[in-house]
Amino acid sequence: MKPKLYIMCGLSGSGKSSIARDLAIKHNAEIVSSDAIREELFGSCQNQYDNEKVFNIFNKRIKESLNENKNVIADATNITIKSRRAIVECVRKLDIEKICYIVPKKYKDCVKDNKNREHTVPEYVLEKQLRRFQIPFKEEGFSEMVIHDMGYTYADKILPNTVMVSMTGFDQKNPHHNMYLEDHCDFTYNKFSDLADPYDAYKSGFLLGAKIHDFGKLCTQTIDENGIAHYFGHENVGAYCVLTTLHNPFEEYNTDDFLLDCCFLINYHMIPFNWNTEKTKNKWKNIFGEEKYNMLLRFHECDKARCE
């Protein structure tokens, strides 16, 4: 049997280290923790002095344990493509299973539970993590994607229609957007879905993502001195909110794959605005894979369009 590498993904305060301990017992796995390495090196898990050194050791220990045929849990936030790719690249030549284990705790619950931790993280750090969050996807090199069941009830979650209604009448206050938020999302969605011939050429998760792609603007709006609104990190915040709160009432769509596809489009729909050279396009095609890359390109053309 191949050794398994579980790469945890979650904000600070999400409970991922506790979940990692449970997984270690269940799968007879060894935990390699970035916080434990900081404690070892600097006497405090909160010391961020030399992260490069910490993660060099982190990746080295993961590889060594896998080479000893042990199951391993990589316990760190791993909330960006870059951080996850560093681990995957380190073990690329090993014949192992790589499982991304996502811990989707609501942001407000992370903030609340962080206050009760032995080693708290400043709230501004949590907010920074939220605005940097990048949804994992299988093309990063994973053999399996798992979203942990946080035990939220239906009452704790929101339906897709509720998300759409929440955007109604929201003034974007930006010269690049002359429509209310819901109208812009509807307009973009209609153009995007029209490109699918037949209709199911796009996965249903991508279509829902198109419908609510700018949802994160509701909680990221800042106004500059000229009265113009900006939405830094809205795509990351929106994807995280959908990941942690969305419930789809239709059983065939209430799956991890559907949710991950929906969050993928939301999270990465802004990236093509920076695809100005063939070199950059090829870089992202290699990262996302051809299907997701082409989907984002097509969505980008729809998102740039304006109502005549």
CA 45 to CA 165: how far, in whole Å? 43
Per-residue pLDDT at 248: 80
Q: Mark whether 183 and 254 lie in a shared domain.
A: yes
Q: What is the DSSP string of 107-159?
A: HHHHHHHHTTSSS---HHHHHHHHHH-----GGGT-SEEEE------GGGSB-
Same domain, 23 and 125: yes
Same domain, 180 and 110: no
Same-domain status, 172 and 136 = no
Among candidate residues 215, 217, 212, 249, the one with its CA nearest the CA of residue 232? 217
The answer on 174 and 40 residing in a single domain is no
> Do 137 and 243 lie in a common domain?
no
Angstrom distance (rounded) from CA 9 to CA 169: 35
Same domain, 107 and 243: no
**pLDDT score for 308:** 44
Say what the pLDDT of residue 47 is: 64
Contact of 145 with 104, CB cutoff 8 Å = no
**β 229-230/222-223 pair status:** antiparallel
**Structure confidence by residue, pLDDT tens digits, 241-278:** 999 999 887 777 779 999 999 999 999 999 999 999 99
Q: Are 98 and 5 in contact (CB under 8 A)?
A: yes
Q: Is the pLDDT of residue 200 over 90?
A: no
Range scoring the smallest mean pLDDT among 199-203, 269-273, 297-301: 199-203
**Same-domain status, 141 and 168:** no
**Alpha carbon 48 to chain centroid, angstroms:** 23
Please answer whether residues 191 and 140 qualify as being in contact, where contact means their C-beta atoms are separated by less than 8 angstroms.
no
Task: Please report, for the domain that includes residue 46, its CATH number.
Answer: 3.40.50.300
**For the chain, what is the domain count?**
2
Q: What is the span of the domain harbouring residue 67?
A: 4-147
Nearest CA among 181, 218, 193, 89 for reference residue 141: 89
Two tokens, residue 100: 């991304």
Of the three residues 129, 147, 165, the one that is the final residue of a domain is 147
pLDDT per residue over 109-135, tens digit each?
999 999 988 778 899 999 999 999 999
Both 100 and 137 in one domain: the answer is yes
Shared domain for 186 and 104, answered yes or no, is no
CA distance 219 to 222: 9
pLDDT, residue 137, reads 98
For the chain, the average pLDDT equals 93
Is residue 66 domain-shared with residue 130, that is, in the same domain? Answer: yes
Residues 31, 24 contacting (CB under 8 angstroms): yes
Q: What confidence category does residue 197 fall into, taking pLDDT thresholds of 50, 70 and 90?
A: low
Question: Taking the chain, what is the end-to-end CA distance rounded to the nearest angstrom?
Answer: 59
Q: Which distant-in-sequence residues (6+ apart) come within 8 Å of 132 by Cβ? A: 79, 80, 233, 236
Q: Which of 120, 147, 174 lies at the terminal end of a domain, its last residue?
A: 147
Q: Are residues 34 and 82 in the same domain?
A: yes
Which of 98, 127, 147 corresponds to the end of one domain?
A: 147
pLDDT score, position 199: 45
